[in-house]
Chains A and B, each alone.
Chain A
Amino acid sequence: MTSDLKNVPMSQCANCSVSPPLTRGKLLPVSPYAPGLKSGVSHMVQR
């Protein structure tokens, strides 16, 4: 994954970040948009 991240052009990544897999997942509430889902925000690109 680290090597993949190096391939992200800086222009595209100016406003994005990859959430740390475990810590973010623990903080998240259940999404009201997807009943039952824990929300997969633990692993996404914010952009």
Chain B
Amino acid sequence: MKYLASLTLLLSLMTLPVSAQDADSSNLLKVGDDMPEFTLKTLDGQTVSSDDLYGKVVLINFFATWCPPCNQELPLLEKDIWAKYKEDENFALLVIDREETEEKVAPFVEKKKFTMPFYLDPNREIYGLFAKKDIPRNYLFDKEGRLMLCSKGYSKEDFGMLKRELDALLK
């Protein structure tokens, strides 16, 4: 009987959808965690470090130019978030390209007419502080550098929640 119960449990676990077993085990941060320490370069060679961001609400987006859902999300990031808060000195946006170089990213930004601040993470070093895999990803930190919200993938619902949380933090 005990054997049968164990077998039933095992079989039920095996039939769980892959995604249900992985509620985002590839994410390395959880809500409440401090922002990892990092230094990044902008497309024009300037640097920014996590220390510079203390005291600001910070939204970090990871993407790649070849990633279709990232390309769905980026225009909304520009239109709904950057356009709204770019003048707010309490806000910082870091749009970080993963594993591509300036030669690839600069023409992409120009072609899409983005004005958001883009950064490069050509060796996946910064991304590796946040997650193991999957893009796009968003991480929203409060002024004390604590993670308030994170998401992976693009969906209208999650992006709406991101906007609402950002609105609340910058109120």
Q: Residues of A at under 8 Å CB distance from B?
A: 1, 4-5, 7-9, 12, 18-19, 24-25, 27-47
State A24–B20 Cα separation when bound (angstroms). Answer: 10
**B66 on the A face (CB < 8 A):** yes
Q: Residues of B at under 8 Å CB distance from A?
A: 17, 19-20, 23-24, 27, 29-31, 64, 66-72, 133-136, 149-155, 157-159, 161
Q: How far is the CB of A45 from chain B (nearest CB, A)?
A: 5
Known contacts A24-B19, A43-B153: A18-B161 contact under CB 8 Å: no
- Of the candidates A37, A45, A47, the one having the most CB atoms from chain B within 10 angstroms of its own CB is A45
Q: Is the CB of A43 within 8 A of B69?
A: yes
State A40–B133 Cα separation when bound (angstroms). Answer: 14
Q: In the complex, which residue of chain B has the Cβ closest to the Cβ of A1? A: B68
- Of the candidates A30, A35, A37, the one having the most CB atoms from chain B within 10 angstroms of its own CB is A37
